[in-house]
């Protein structure tokens, strides 16, 4: 536990370092903290903070910089963010990056791409957004004959999302046969999840005609493929912004590893999916996330909702020396904007 004097000095040191990027000395702390302490007393407190692993002296500098643990204490116990509504904060943020409008609710994939770009532009770091998870329930299914043994399967989800796939059937079907199969399946299976349909088919397939059973299996496969594709979609924007971060210049190897994470995206999905199970904004500092295992990088993330249901996650990846209060507001506001845009579809 830190006493109030130590908390004030640590808070001041972190804020000064975030603002200036230079090791903070006792003289600067004395002026900036507002505490009437002697330089010797401040040095003693800094020695205690260093012993606790909250600050460190880089090289031979007389000043100190926060460690990942120091940032964590700062974020958890000392950070104060201004509680501003998204509507009042948004015009100011958009003006900073020269954007008049953002997140037009025309196509979900475009909204996600716009959101990743917006996060990157507002933060000057990396923006990441997972695409909305698709519903596993279908509202309507339809089969259309395209030609010899070629059938177009159309799957419509409750939110209006449409998935199309061309399948090759065992033998040719007439359009009246496909219409009959369409009517049967919509009557008996519409509103069920893909998993429920798959389970029912295991017991009911004997009672179905071969044609309908085969088409139903094909429809289940189409739905499963669509879900699998939606679970792998993550949009990353602004990776090159990290190249301009002064704190990261000395560790190009970690930067290369980080770019590999951006390329593969699987690890990012794992991190963001974990964040979607939490309420509000989450902050991972240094190697805490294990998905972005770099001491010099932090992640600020938040889930976004559509019609009251969490369907995805977004966030900012940047240096540990980031203005966390601003990043929290940017991520929180963008999450609300994405949810609102997608709910208007």
pLDDT value for 66 = 93
d(CA 92, CA 282): 24
pLDDT value for 8 = 92
Q: Helices marked H in 170-291 — which ranges?
A: 175-189, 194-204, 210-230, 252-264, 266-276
Query: Tens of pLDDT along 156-165?
Result: 877 667 778 8
Given a contact cutoff of 8 angstroms between Cβ atoms, the answer to whether 170 and 118 are in contact is no
- Is the pLDDT confidence value at 30 over 50? yes
Count of C-beta atoms within a 10 Å radius of residue 74? 21
Q: What percent of the chain has pLDDT over 70?
A: 74
Q: What confidence category does residue 13 fall into, taking pLDDT thresholds of 50, 70 and 90?
A: very high
Model pTM? 0.71
- Is the pLDDT confidence value at 258 over 90? no
Count of C-beta atoms within a 10 Å radius of residue 1? 4
> What is the Rg, in whole angstroms, of the alpha carbon atoms belonging to the chain?
27
Mean pLDDT along residues 328-340: 89
Query: Tens of pLDDT along 167-222?
Result: 888 788 888 888 888 888 888 878 877 777 777 766 665 556 666 777 777 777 77
pLDDT value for 249 = 62
- Is the pLDDT confidence value at 275 over 70? no
Tokens of 323: 């203005």
Residues 6+ apart with CB under 8 A from 188: none
Residue 286, helix vs strand vs coil: coil
- Is the pLDDT confidence value at 278 over 50? yes
Q: What percent of the chain has pLDDT over 90?
A: 21
Mean pLDDT along residues 77-91: 62
């Amino acid at each position: 536990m830190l006493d109030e004097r130590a908390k004030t000095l640590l808070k001041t040191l972190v804020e000064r370092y975030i603002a200036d990027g230079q090791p903070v000395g006792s003289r600067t702390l004395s002026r900036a903290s507002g505490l009437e302490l002697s330089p010797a007393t401040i040095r003693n407190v800094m020695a205690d903070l260093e012993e606790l692993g909250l600050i460190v002296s880089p090289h031979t500098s007389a000043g100190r910089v926060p460690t990942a643990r120091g940032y964590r204490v700062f974020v958890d116990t000392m950070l104060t963010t201004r509680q501003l509504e998204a509507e009042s904060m948004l015009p100011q943020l958009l003006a900073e990056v020269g954007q008049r409008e953002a997140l037009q609710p025309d196509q979900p994939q475009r909204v996600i791409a716009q959101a990743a770009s917006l996060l990157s532009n507002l933060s000057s770091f990396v923006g990441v957004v997972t695409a909305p998870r698709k519903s596993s329930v279908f509202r309507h299914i339809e089969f259309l004959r395209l030609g010899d043994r070629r059938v177009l399967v159309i799957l419509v989800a409750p939110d209006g999302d449409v998935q199309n796939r061309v399948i090759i059937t065992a033998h040719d079907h007439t359009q009246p046969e496909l219409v009959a199969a369409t009517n049967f399946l919509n009557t008996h299976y519409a509103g069920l999840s893909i998993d429920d349909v798959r389970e029912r088919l295991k017991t009911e397939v004997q009672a179905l005609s071969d044609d309908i059973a085969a088409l139903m299996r094909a429809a289940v496969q189409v739905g499963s493929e669509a879900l699998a594709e939606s679970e792998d979609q993550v949009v990353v924007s602004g990776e090159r912004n990290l190249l301009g971060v002064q704190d990261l210049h000395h560790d190009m190897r970690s930067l290369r590893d980080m770019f590999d994470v951006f390329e593969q995206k699987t690890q990012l999905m794992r991190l963001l999916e974990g964040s979607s199970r939490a309420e509000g904004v989450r902050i991972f500092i240094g190697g805490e996330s294990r998905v972005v295992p770099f001491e010099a990088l932090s992640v600020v993330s938040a889930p976004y909702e559509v019609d009251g249901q969490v369907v995805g996650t977004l966030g900012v990846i940047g240096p540990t020396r980031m203005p966390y209060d601003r990043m929290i507001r940017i991520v929180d506001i963008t999450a609300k904007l994405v949810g609102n845009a997608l709910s208007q579809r």
